[in-house]
Amino acid sequence: MKKLFNLLWVAVLLVLALPACSVSSSQQLHSVKGSFVEGILGEDAQTLNWIIATDDGASKRYASFMVDPLAVFDNKFTLQLRCLARDIDVSADGLTYTVTIRNDLRWSDGSAVTAEDYVYTLKNIMFADWIKCADSSKWQEMVDGKAVFVSPEKVNDSTFKVVRKTVDPDFVYTIYELMPYPKNIVIHYENAAEDFSQAPELVNMSYTGNLGAYKPVSWNSSEGFVMKRNPDYYLGKSTGAPYFEKYTIKPFGLQQLIYDALSADRISFAFVEPQVANTFRSEGKFNVYTIPTGYYVYLAYNQRDNGWEGLRDVRVRQAISMVIDKPMIIQTMYLGYADPAFSFIPPYSPLYNESVLNKFGMNAAEDAQKAIDLIKSAGYEQKMIDGTMKFVDKEGKPIKLNFLLDMESDFEQNLGIIIRGNLMQIGLDINPKFSTRQILFMDGLMNKIPGSEQAPAFNNGPKAVSNQPWDLAILSSHANALAMNGSSEFFTTKGRFNIYGYFNDEADALFARAYSSEAITLEGKKKVYSEIAKLISDDQPVDFLLFYKDNYAFNKNVKGVEPGINVYYNNQFWYFE
């Protein structure tokens, strides 16, 4: 249960702290009217004092209605400046980032938002040891084996620098997301974590001035999170934005209740499942947009010592990937709302290079004989058993692959049935190993070197194995279309999530280049990641199955929406017809 806003406190602040810089719009592109309601399943945001939240960005998203970040990307990954006056300047060596903010940003008391506020937010809050900030690790780098914070410093009122000791070409995306806190308020709560966490100015975001499109009104379980239009919004000077009188994020306990609310026009927009997306499209009452996501599903091949030895041969891995029918999976499991995956790089990413990838699994039936021949070339034989040709081990017994499956997941079990059918066509079978998700992770995926004092982890090195032998496992992850360096955690020798034991010196060297000045420019990054993608595609340590898509339904009178991966990027410019 979220704390109710102290409406009296908000009202007093609004009276006492009207922005000194209120500027009427010179042009009103669309009329201001109506209340926009966004329906969500459950509620995962914790607080508007977002910097202390531990909800994977949900609170920060709420707060971003009141304070814009430095910049965002549109659906074509073109940078859209928000609080930035111009793009961040990155030095040739990739170590110094110069940030210049707009000069028309104001706090609620009328004082200017300055570079000092941004530096203070980093140094005195984000990097402080008196309070825990979930995002703080994004601002750290490894220097001589130790995690240290980067060095922000004020240059003048509108400019600050962030200096690193090591190169990270993706670090600029962290800076773009930065939102400031007002130094003149927070300084009174410094070194007092409880007071900071409960400070009414911070919890109610009454300090935000003209920094965001909306102002908070109330937050409770019945109405949801209610905001009202901010007439002083800095981006509204020439457009009159935002165009909704109110914007509400309303949680629901069941997806069906969301559908009922959409149909009854009680909400304006929500995520909908594939079957409902098709129904809504056919009814014609809604604009239903299919949006790509960075979430992908893959089949992991255990190449560690407690997996089937055949999976340590690239020919066997390629053969299995050839016959797992991706179009069938996408149509059966997602009603077509997914893209086939051939890499950890999303197909809509500027870094995606289709020409270097093997498109395994797109012609499963036609490639079946090729797959059989590949496995035979790896030294395995087939025998007729019970009227079916099956691959056998050295003792002449049918090969059955241990397949870890979550007994509580209908999705995994149904996907496992499809994969089993695909494998049986080439003479392989599976031995399903059902367990709860927790046991699956602790017993099957986490590993340690036998006889050692290591604590179990997802990658304890080449000699580490899990308690339970396994061969196949269905896993999922998320890829950022621009910031790809996190993928090294899955495909390098020391990668924290290299569960399946893929150890390749060439991959380590390529990912090291991705962390070098060679990858600072987009063209340099494209070149390096093309080489990485080709190597991973050839080696097939995992079989990338699909990137799934989301469907969003909007009432037809909602205009200004630009469908795409970053559909929210311009929500302050949405309007009612």
CB 565 within 8 A of CB 75: yes
Residue 180's pLDDT is what?
Answer: 98
The amino acid that residue 166 corresponds to is T
Both tokens assigned to 408: 């509580």
Q: At what angle do helices 326-334 and 410-424 cross, to 10 degrees?
A: 150
The domain over range 7-285+556-576 is classified in CATH as 3.20.20.330: no
Residue 485's pLDDT is what?
Answer: 85
Of all helices (H) and strands (E), which one includes residue 419? helix 410-424
> What DSSP character marks residue 324?
S
State how far the Cα of 381 lies from the Cα of 393, in Å rounded to an integer: 8
Both tokens assigned to 155: 């240059």
Query: Residue 5 contacts by C-beta under 8 Å, 6 or more apart in sequence?
Result: 204, 216, 217, 218, 219
State how far the Cα of 488 lies from the Cα of 335, in Å rounded to an integer: 32
Residue 26's pLDDT is what?
Answer: 61
Residue 430's pLDDT is what?
Answer: 93
Tokens 């009174």 found at? 188
Residue 395's pLDDT is what?
Answer: 87
The CATH number given to 293-550 is: 3.10.105.10
State how far the Cα of 163 lies from the Cα of 150, in Å rounded to an integer: 6
Q: Where are the domains of the chain?
A: 7-285+556-576, 293-550
Residue 227's pLDDT is what?
Answer: 98
Kindly report whether the peptide bond that precedes residue 242 is cis, defined as omega within 30 degrees of 0. yes
**Beta-bridge partner residues of 248:** 37, 226
pLDDT by residue, tens only, the chain of 577 residues: 333 333 333 333 333 333 433 334 468 899 999 999 999 998 779 999 999 999 989 999 999 999 999 999 999 999 999 999 999 999 999 999 999 999 999 999 999 999 999 999 999 999 999 999 999 999 999 999 999 999 999 999 999 999 999 999 999 999 999 999 999 999 999 999 999 999 999 999 999 999 999 999 999 988 999 999 999 999 999 999 999 999 999 999 999 999 999 999 999 999 999 999 999 999 998 999 999 999 999 999 999 999 999 999 999 999 999 999 999 999 999 999 999 999 999 999 999 999 999 999 999 999 999 999 999 999 999 999 989 999 999 889 999 999 999 999 999 999 999 999 999 999 999 999 999 999 999 999 999 999 999 999 999 999 999 999 999 999 999 999 999 989 999 999 999 999 999 999 999 999 999 999 999 999 999 999 999 999 999 999 999 999 999 999 999 999 999 999 999 999 999 999 9
